[in-house]
Homo-oligomer: A and B are copies of this chain.
Amino acid sequence: MSVSHRRPVPLSKAYRLLNHGPTVLVSAAHDGKRNIMAAAWAMPLDFEPPKIAVVLDKSTWTRQLLEASGSFVLNVPCAAQADIVQTVGSTSGLERDKFQAYGLQAFAGELLDAPMLEGCVAWLECRLLPEPHNHQQYDLFLAEVIAAQADERVFSDGRWHFEGHDALRTLHHVAGGHFLKIGDPVAGKNLDD
């Protein structure tokens, strides 16, 4: 039995899980069905209470599930999961359960039923905000983050620290299964100081 490295992240720091622009996996469940898909277009929208924005195409089944349930999870995957991200980003879960098909392990959220994917490095449980104009016009979904967790090996005290954990670096999608992993720290100093 493996030791879990998941730790709660205070809501005031939840935006930092997405601040550096990783590609995410969006998961949702409704009425006994569940799905997970990849989305490169997600970002923080507010600090506290934390909010996020994510773009979800009308054709996706995950979108149907999250519109029905009013909630979803943003899972932040890592380099070790590149094949999983590419696969769940290019297949449909309408005809078969992707978790079963690809042997993906899921666990329950603290507050939501949406499946959270094992092996990711952060998880944000989200409650959809009712903004139908944005949904219809722009495929844009805004949500409040109601719980967050991260893998303490690479995120603690509100900071990412990937040194020594290359396989846990976040993925940043370019196109067509080509990703860049996040790299090394750079400090920026204020030129007035």
Contact = CB atoms under 8 A, between A and B. Distances in A.
Contacts of A140: 45, 53, 142
Interface string A39-70: 01111111000010101000000000000000
Interface stretch (A2-10, A28-36, A83-91, A110-118): A83-91
B158 A186 contact: no
14 contacts: A16-B174, A16-B175, A19-B173, A19-B175, A20-B172, A20-B174, A41-B43, A45-B138, A86-B189, A87-B192, A159-B175, A178-B188, A179-B187, A182-B182
A82 interface: yes
A135 to B, nearest CB: 13
Contact of A84 (B160, B171, B180, B191): B191
A100 interface: no
Nearest to A137: B131
Nearest to A86: B188
Stoichiometry, copies per complex: 2
Q: 4 closest pairs, A vs B, by CB?
A: A21-B21, A183-B183, A86-B188, A20-B172
Contacts of A142: 138, 140
Contact of A190 (B158, B174, B177): B177
A171 to B, nearest CB: 6
A183 to B, nearest CB: 3
A23 to B, nearest CB: 8
A134 interface: yes
A43 B140 CA distance: 11
Contacts of A182: 172, 180, 182-183
Nearest to A16: B175
A95 interface: no
Contacts of A127: none
A180 B185 contact: yes
